[in-house]
Amino acid sequence: MDNSFSRYLLSKQTVDERALNRPVYQKLAECLPKGPQRIVEVGAGVGTMLARLLRWGLFETAEYTAVDAMPENIQFAARWLPEWAAGNGFASETLGGNRLRLWNASREARVNLVADDVFSFVGSNPPPAGLLIAHAFLDLMPLPDSLPKLFSLLEPGGLAWLTVNFDGLTCFEPPIDPQLDAGLERLYHKTMDERPSGGDSRTGRHLFAHLQAAGVTLLASGASDWVVHPLAGAYPADEAFFLQFILSFFEQSLADHPELDPAVFSDWLAKRRAQVEAGELVYIAHQLDFLVRV
């Protein structure tokens, strides 16, 4: 299997697109001021959110800063975004370094791709933004301490769109062994809670209190569940790869776990991978989206 993390990020575009909560997004579109925007996205990966927002027409013109701690993601984005633009009716040009311009007749983004740790970036005192985006990111962070630092990236009255925050449910169907399935889910979630860099397997529900404590105004919230299933025996787009990568997360997280019999776990993984190959596996992960004003 191709273990490319960049391909995983591309493969989940269609999964994310179905998952993103439309009423929360519509509220964002309503609340975002007219005119040029300054947007910063943390944990931006390879630029798929920017591409999505250009297609969806959230803004007409924007200075868009995409920050990711993995230099390889930023390097991939610098190559992929012009390729995406060429196939989606946008022109592109390189402005020097990791800066790009993407535009068509109605929309334009000047993009600054930044390879940096998010808190190092916060400490560099960048110009304040009107919109902060954190997509599938906060459940990897130490909360609630990270929130004031992230919100410091915003100008007064700025908006934060916080999407796909995991909230404690992972489901694979059909079952292999209900007791084993439940035990693996529990152990997998526990690895999130014990991650040294921070993280919480119930970030979604806990964000209600964390955001209130941070003193921001909640404007909208809603579910953004990943739901992946075959259609006529095949998965859409590259979603079979997405599922195989999810199973690799399980394998990496639970390898050599003292509560697991290695042979039993290996057999479970093999059966789940076979279900993907056969176009049989259904995967559900429960998540929540939020829109707040700082």
Judge if pTM exceeds 0.85. yes
Between 3.90.550.10, 1.10.260.40, 3.30.565.10, 3.40.50.150, what CATH number should domain 5-167+197-227+284-293 receive? 3.40.50.150
Cα angle for residues 148, 152, 157 (degrees, 5° grid): 105
pLDDT tens, the chain, 294 aa long:
355 999 999 999 999 999 999 999 999 999 999 999 999 999 999 999 999 999 999 999 999 999 999 999 999 999 999 999 999 999 999 998 899 999 999 999 999 999 999 999 999 999 999 999 999 999 999 999 999 999 999 999 999 999 999 999 999 999 999 999 999 999 999 999 999 889 999 999 999 999 999 999 999 999 999 999 999 999 999 999 999 999 999 999 999 999 999 999 999 999 999 999 999 999 999 999 999 999
Q: How far apart are CA 275 and CA 174, in angstroms?
A: 9
Domain boundaries, the chain: 5-167+197-227+284-293
| Residue that has been written with the tokens 């909560």 in this structure | 21
CB 51 within 8 A of CB 109: no
The total of other beta-carbon atoms located within 10 Å of residue 7's CB is 16
pLDDT digits (tens, 9 = 90+) for 224-239: 999 999 999 999 999 9
